[in-house]
Amino acid sequence: MTPASLGYRMPAEWERHRGTWLSWPHKEASWPGKFERIPPIFARMVRELADREEVHVNVAGPEAEAAVRRLLADEGAGTGNVFFHYIPTNDAWCRDHGPIFVERETAGGIEQAIVDWSFNAWGGKYPPYDLDDAVPVRIGEELGLRVFSPGMVLEGGAVDVNGRGTLLTTEACLLHPNRNPGLSRGEIEERLRAYLGVRHILWLGDGIAGDDTDGHVDDLARFVDPETVVAVVEEDPRDENYEPLQENLKRLRSMRDQDGRPLRVETLPMPRPIRHEGQRLPASYANFYIANGVILLPGYDPPRDEVARDTLQRLFPTRRVVVIDCTDLVWGLGAFHCVTQQWPDPGRVTPSASSP
């Protein structure tokens, strides 16, 4: 029995949350030379989120919890709505190793479950990853939720849904031989439909330069309501991101949703190229996180930050778009969407893109 056959679906990120899951950063090798700057960025995130929804934090144990509580206090982030879970992790990228929640309507209300996709650290790039791979099952046990295991490698940042039956992903990532070499494109699509409750799958092409995930869609294009996708574009033809992003934009403008309607496509700029120690970093404004009443937007380049902020503020008029500098966070090769995982609110009544 698969989730789809039982009536489950994956809600859109803008639907009301019960909370946000984080895995607190502790692996200095992910931000060599800059690690001390990373926990305060997480604390700022918690400060913005905790007044609007629960924040659930995976830590190794009581000592780690105490240290995080002290940091949150120093950063002025209240902990009344912050909950700690003694679930050890290898790294902090909760979007990719955390639980993906699905749900169905029953006579007694909304019933939730967790999909436990296999996690192999983006094609075996960063061992060990056994603790990260176990996170969804551990959370399911704590919450008393049913856990479905598709037997397929998939990271949360590789897919985006509109909550109405359409899923957006990339060929570069899902078809990469370091994920599921024994599965065809059709078999991958079949499992996405069976375990996320989608009906219609849209494929983009390549990812951005510097992205060690092999092309996650959350650095390229995101649904912002059931009919609208916002996509990053590079205006400089000399930039290595220009051609792949133009190709993805062309594809999006020809795509239709699950009901055969053309997508509405909006654009975001790309920030100026950011390099550290000679490495191009995957800085992208598409890596924003949608929470109750707020959008967390990574900042890299003040003039372009403002263009991106204004665009998202227009698309999310009932939520406040908050720009937080991520020039240090992206040295770990990810930003806000990469470190968060939403927990839909089972008590909500009507899913809405415009409601906070």
- Residue 178 near residue 119, CB atoms below 8 Å: no
Active site residue 326: no
Count of residues for the chain?
356
- The answer on pLDDT for 351 being more than 50 is no
- Predicted confidence band of residue 350 (pLDDT cuts 50, 70, 90): very low
Mean pLDDT value of segment 158-167? 98
pLDDT digit string (tens) for 199-228?
999 999 999 999 999 999 999 999 999 999
- Mean pLDDT of the chain, nearest integer: 96
Q: What is the mean pLDDT of residues 303-323?
A: 98
Residue 132 pLDDT > 50, yes or no?
yes
pLDDT level of residue 348 (50, 70, 90 thresholds)? confident
Q: What is the pLDDT of residues 225-270, one digit of tens each?
A: 999 999 999 999 999 999 999 999 999 999 999 999 999 999 999 9
Instruction: Say if residues 317 and 354 touch (Cβ distance below 8 Å).
Output: yes
How far apart are alpha carbons 56 and 20 in whole angstroms? Answer: 6
User: Mean per-residue pLDDT for 326-330?
Assistant: 98
* CB half-sphere exposure, 343, CA atoms < 13 A: 22
| Separation CA 171–CA 66 (nearest Å) | 43
Share of the chain above pLDDT 70, in %: 98
Residue pLDDT, tens place only, 81-129: 999 999 999 999 999 999 999 999 999 999 999 999 999 999 999 999 9
The pLDDT of residue 352: 46
CATH 3.75.10.10 fits 4-344, yes or no: yes
Residue 313 DSSP class: H
Tell the residue number behind the tokens 């375990």, with chain if given: 195
Residue 325: what pLDDT? 98
- pLDDT band per the 50, 70, 90 thresholds, residue 349: low
Give pLDDT tens digits for 167-184. Answer: 999 999 999 999 999 999
Q: What is the pTM of this model?
A: 0.97
- Residue by residue, DSSP assigns 244-306 as HHHHHHHHHHH-B-TTSPBPEEEEEEPPPP-EETTEEP---TT--EEETTEEEEEESSHHHHH
Given the residues 94, 173, 326, 338, select the one marked as catalytic.
Answer: 338
Q: What pLDDT is attached to residue 78?
A: 85
- How is residue 99 annotated by DSSP? P
Q: Report in angstroms the alpha-carbon separations of 47 from 69, 72, 80, 305.
A: 12, 8, 11, 21
> Strand, helix or coil at 112?
strand
Cβ-contact 252, 231 below 8 angstroms:
yes
Nearest to 131 by CA among 74, 43, 58: 58
